[in-house]
Chain A
Amino acid sequence: MDVMSQASPDQTAHPGGTGVGASPGEEPLLRLRGISKHFGAVQALYGVDLDLPKGQVTALCGDNGAGKSVLTKSIAGIHQVDEGEIWWEGRRVHIRNPKDSAALGIETVYQDLALADNLDIVQNMFLGRERLQRGLLDEDSMERAAKETLASLRVTTVRSIRQPVATLSGGQRQAVAVAKAVMWNSKLVMLDEPTAALGVAQTRMVLDLILRLKDHGLAVMVISHNLNDVFEVADRIAVLRLGRMVAQDSISAFDRQSVVDYMTTGVSSRAVKGPSADGGRN
């Protein structure tokens, strides 16, 4: 069990070394080291380390105000980090805005979905990255690509991909948002509370979608309050508490109670299997 006991912000990392929780020898897709972020007087993140390996679902857990959204938005380029290093495929990168993040292959599915209600499914999926032909929008090619992506994810419940997003149910909107994220040959997809406010069947659909992303070899990060969902889809768990990463390991090292302990107190007396084989930075 790798408990980074309230890791101090000034602790510098060794990028070449073994990743936190990643398989030995394999470079995680995204590696964060010592990420700090403050808003005015409020410190949101204190020296956070995080690894997101390919083909695995990492659940980011934490109570309200733990800094989950800030961390996600920092990776997505919505916020710029104050301190710390971001390594992508073993290369040091700087993410200054959403375009930088998208250029690396990072896509985010936000809690409020970030879809424009007045636009249809195709228009939303290509928003900001429209295909052009002779200077004008190439609707045919965009519609075909959107259709293929939805089909590959087996999203089959919408009546027409030309219907405005306002006419979709919550689960369908979530599916469109996920499809939008994967259409860009993205390598990392981050989902912010993907099942919040969804019914049972719709939640099932979204969880299946997450597992399909993983099968496609993508790195997936799921932010969730819902431990049922976490234990159903996650391969790894990372727990934030008050802006610090208090635990990060493969799912076998946790049980529900220990995750709750980490989220609420920052420590857990419950050791499920002891330190996992691949865990540990020390």
Chain B
Amino acid sequence: MSGIDSQGGLGADGTAAPEAADLTAAKVDIVPPEIVAGSLSQYFHAWWARVRGGDAGVLPVVIALVAVTVIFTAVSPNHVFLTPANLVNLFDQSAVFMVLAIGEGFVLLLGEIDLSIGYVAAIGGIVTGQLVQPSWNWPWPIAIAGGILAGAVIGWLQGTIITRLRMPAFIVTLAGYLIWFGVMIQILGTAGSVGVSSSVLGNQQALYGIVYSYIDPAISWVGLAVIVVLLGGMMWLRDAGRRRRGLVASPIGLTVAKIAFIAVAGVAVVAICNINRGVMLPVIGVPWVVPLVLAVLAVWTILLERSQFGRHMYAVGGNPEAARRAGINVALVRTMAFVLCAGTSGLAGIIYLSQQGAMNTNINGGQLVLYAVAAAVIGGTSLSGGRGRVIHGVLGGLVIGAIYNGLYLLGLEIQWQLVITGLVLLAAVSVDALSRQSSGVRV
């Protein structure tokens, strides 16, 4: 592997540089494995060292997914948890948590929190639903844009109050939680709802179809192949190019392993969705919500990790003072985080609208927020800011969706669902606290 020598970049190899008495030792003494490892086995050694050092990475997600799957498969009636019908249902349910968690991730990245997103999602769903009612009957893409925009405007309002008036996000968004809850009831009427389950209005059918229409199996396999080839090819070319130019890159084995993982996960999802899950009539295919979530993941990942604005978000989350001194408009970045969070939540509300066939006052916005925070944190986003990726929301959302789905299958009463939700949130936050404790300042 020719790139190994250039991994360090600067010729240091542990023997160089007598690191004599330095009173300010590093805050974290474990370097990320992917940038110093020369091969896959070195990578796993370094990775394991980091896990023992307290930074668990995606390990909690993997453990949680395995545990949840084993437990619910064992205890669910007729072991229904792992049936294709239930797994597709699980993807649909998880989609709302995933997109909400992705949204919440933007503000968590800055060390803030947004407690209002459950009811902001409701408002987004209501706006989209209203726009496709017979009296309006706007084209569904515009209706979707309207719901996202409604969320974004709310986020801009709340974000502006938080950053310009220097008020704590916790309080401002708690107020937002109540306000948008109230606004929702006012719009819908105490027992009212806005539905999209019409069988004659094409725009309502389109929105309902986000969750309940399916991609033709042949097309879904072709689509998967295209995604894997494009994504894998890009990852391969990028890493190979960096290795060739002597820049820091992950070992070839890791690149291959990542691409293989994406391919296997994709094949698994498409295969499960393409098994007939109908009871009387055949029901086959990947729900459109799956590529929708992937699109959200792709667009927001590019924004966060490949754009200048995303880099500035990480900087503000890590050290706002450093960001300010680097000439970054910190107030704008913070406001935009709330806009992105609430706008993404609006989209989550549209998925919820599709999944339920209607938006009604039963939506539990409080529970949705807690699930979203728990999902982001389980996925690996830090509550203290500066660390988090869009994929964390997707992975954490899958865990939360699996728990939600499993509890539903067990037919537990509401009080036990509440207790278990609380425990899951607590567990998620302890994972975050533990990883911060052990990677904290070394004395």
Contacts and interface: CB of A to CB of B under 8 A. Distances in A.
Interface of A: 76, 78, 97-99, 102, 108, 110, 112-119, 123-124, 127-130, 132, 135-137, 140, 143-144, 147, 150-151, 155-164, 166-173, 197-202
Interface in B57-88: none
A164 B29 CA distance: 10
Nearest to B305: A137
Given A158-B10, A166-B28, A167-B29, A118 B314 contact: yes
Interface stretch (B210-218, B253-261, B316-324): B316-324
B21 A161 contact: no
Contacts of B319: 114-118
Interface in B223-259: 241-242, 245, 247-248
Contact of B9 (A123, A160, A166, A169): A160
B52 interface: no
B323 A127 contact: yes
Nearest to A155: B10
A140 B239 CA distance: 11
B237 to A, nearest CB: 12
A261 B10 CA distance: 45
Interface of B: 7-12, 14, 16-32, 35-36, 241-242, 245, 247-248, 302, 306-308, 311-312, 314-315, 317-319, 321-328, 386-387
A118 B23 contact: no
A64 B223 CA distance: 66
Given A118-B386, A159-B12, A199-B23, 10 more contacts: A76-B325, A98-B325, A112-B321, A119-B314, A128-B315, A130-B308, A157-B19, A159-B10, A160-B9, A167-B29
A99 B327 CA distance: 6
A198 B264 CA distance: 50
A114 B302 CA distance: 26
A157 B17 contact: yes
B248 A143 contact: yes
Given A160-B35, A169-B26, A118 B21 contact: no
B318 A128 contact: no
Contacts of A128: 312, 315, 323, 326-328
Nearest to A146: B9
B18 A201 contact: yes
24 contacts: A76-B325, A97-B327, A110-B325, A113-B322, A114-B319, A116-B314, A116-B323, A117-B386, A118-B319, A119-B311, A119-B318, A127-B311, A127-B315, A128-B315, A128-B328, A129-B327, A137-B308, A160-B8, A162-B35, A163-B31, A166-B26, A169-B19, A197-B24, A202-B22
A114 B247 contact: no
Nearest to A116: B318
A211 B102 CA distance: 48
Most buried by B among A97, A128, A155: A128
Given A127-B322, A161-B248, A116 B23 contact: no
